[in-house]
Amino acid sequence: MRTPVVRFAPSPTGRIHLGNARTALFNYLFARRFNGRFVLRFDDTDLERSKAEYAAAIEVDLAWLGAHPDLMVRQSERFALYAAAAQRLKEMGRLYPCFETPDELDRRRKRQIGRGLPPVYDRAALALSDADRAALTAQGRKPHWRFKLEARTVAWSDLVRGDSHIDCASLSDPVLMREDGSWLYTLPSVVDDIDLGVTHVIRGEDHVTNTAVQLQLFEILGDPAHAPSFAHHNLLTSSSGEGLSKRSGALSIAGLREAGVEPLAVAALAVLTGSSDAVAPVRSLDELQARFDITHTSRGAAKFDPAELDALSARTLHGLDYEAVRERLAAHDIVGHRAEPFWLAVRGNLTVFADVAVWWRVVEGEVTPVIEDADYLAEARALLPQEPWDEKTWSQWTGALKQATGRKGKALFHPLRLALTGRDQGPELAALLPLLGRAKALARLP
C-alpha cells in the first residue's frame, strides 16, 4: 500500500460536531497507523459563509481531540489552480456553459418526472450555437458550467463498502462553477487531491455518489493509475436515527469540551460506534489507533445515545494515570509530591475532571464538618493514630474504633466520612486520610 496521505476537509461555516469528528479521526488514525500524513483542508470557497473564526475554532477542536494536522491548506488561497483546471476542461470540450435559470431547470425536472423519466439534465445547452449563446449573454444571462460525464459505469473497490459502482448515465452532468464564477465542491476537491498527493479519501457515505464524477475528473486532470482509494463510512446518528448538523450546534465539539466531556471519550465514541469493536474507554490515542481498523466499519447505522457519552467520559477519567493528567492538575494548582497520590485517590469518584477542585479543597482547604454523633466522634478523636500515616492507617483506626465501640458497617464508617470531608460519599478514606494529615483530621473531629 502507498504511504497514505489523507485529508479532513471541513467547510468553516459553523462549529464541527461529533459526526465531523468521526471523519477527522478516521483520517487521522489511518494516517498514523501507516506512518502517513494528515492534511487539514478548509473548503472555504464560499467566501460569504466561510468565517475565519470558524476555521480557528475547528483547529482548536481538532487539537483538543489530539488530531494534529501535518499540513493545513485553504481553498480560498488556491483559486488559480482551479481556474487552470477549468480551462483545460473547457479546451477539451468537457466543461460547457449552460444558461438555464433555476426556475427553468425546476420546471424541466418536474416535466420529466411527470412523464416517468429520471430528472437528469438533458444537455440542452450543448445544442446552442455560438449565436444562441451570444444572444443569451446579451440578455444579461451568465452561464453556469457543467462537466460532461462519459455515459459509462465507474467502479472502485471501497475500503468500507467493498466493490462499488455507479452508472454515470443515470447522473446529471454536475455543475462545477456557478454563474458568479464561484466554485462548487467537486472540481476544487479533485484538483487539491491531485496537487497534495492524496492517496485515500475517507469520508461519509453521503458522498458515495460524488465518487464516480470525481474519478472521471481524476482520469482527465491527474494520473489515472494514481487516483486515490476511497472509503465511505456510515454516518453517526442519534439513537432515534437523526443526523447531526453543525448549524444546529447539537453535540458540537466545543459544547462537549465546555461541558467537561473527556476528549478521549469523544474520540472513542466517534470512532468505535458502528464498528465491530465495542465502545469502551481508552487511555490514549495510541490505544484507540490499535483498536481502529477502517475495514471493520459496519455498513449498518452508527447510532449512539448521548447519555452513553457522559458515562464513557467518567469511565475514561477513572482509568487515566497520573502522567496523563499532570498538566491538567497543575492548572488547578495541584502540584508537588501529593499530586499523584491525590489523583489516584479521587479519580474513581470524578464525573468530570473539574471535580478535582472540589476534592482538593477537601484535602487542602477548609470544610464544614457534618457532625452526626458527637460522642462517637470524640472517641474517634481520642483513638486517632499518631503519624506517620499511610494507606493502612484507616484500617488501623477503624479497627480500634470497632473494638472500642462495637460498631460496624455504616455506623462505624459513615460518621467519620461526614466529619472528615463534609460529604455523604466520595473517595476511599484509606487513600484520602494520609492526604488530610493528622492536624486536619483532629480539627474536623469535635
Please provide the DSSP assignment of 40-68 as one string. EEE----TTT--HHHHHHHHHHHHHHT--
What does the pLDDT look like over 259-299, one tens digit per residue? 999 999 999 999 999 877 778 999 999 999 999 999 989 88
Residue 86 Cα to chain centre, angstroms: 34
Tell me, what's the pLDDT at 1?
75
Tell me, what's the pLDDT at 137?
94
pLDDT at 246 exceeding the cut of 70: no
412 by Cβ neighbours in 10 Å (0-12 / 13-18 / 19+) ranks as middle
**Cα distance between residue 48 and residue 9, in whole Å:** 18
pLDDT at 248 exceeding the cut of 80: no
Tell me, what's the pLDDT at 245?
61
Tell me, what's the pLDDT at 249?
60
Average pLDDT of the residues in 211-225: 94
401 by Cβ neighbours in 10 Å (0-12 / 13-18 / 19+) ranks as buried
246 phi-psi bin (left φ>0, alpha ψ -120 to 50, beta other): alpha
Which amino acid does the sequence have at 90?
A: K
DSSP readout, 173-213? PPEEE-TTS-B-SHHHHHHHHHHHT--EEEEEGGGHHHHHH
Neighbouring CB atoms inside 10 A of 51's CB total 13
What does the pLDDT look like over 378-407, one tens digit per residue? 999 999 999 999 999 999 999 999 999 999
Banded pLDDT at 307 (limits 50, 70, 90)? confident
**Cα distance between residue 330 and residue 339, in whole Å:** 9
Average pLDDT of the residues in 23-33: 98
State the pTM of this model: 0.91
What does the pLDDT look like over 61-105, one tens digit per residue? 999 999 999 999 999 999 999 999 999 999 999 999 999 999 999
Average pLDDT of the residues in 367-381: 95
pLDDT at 241 exceeding the cut of 70: no
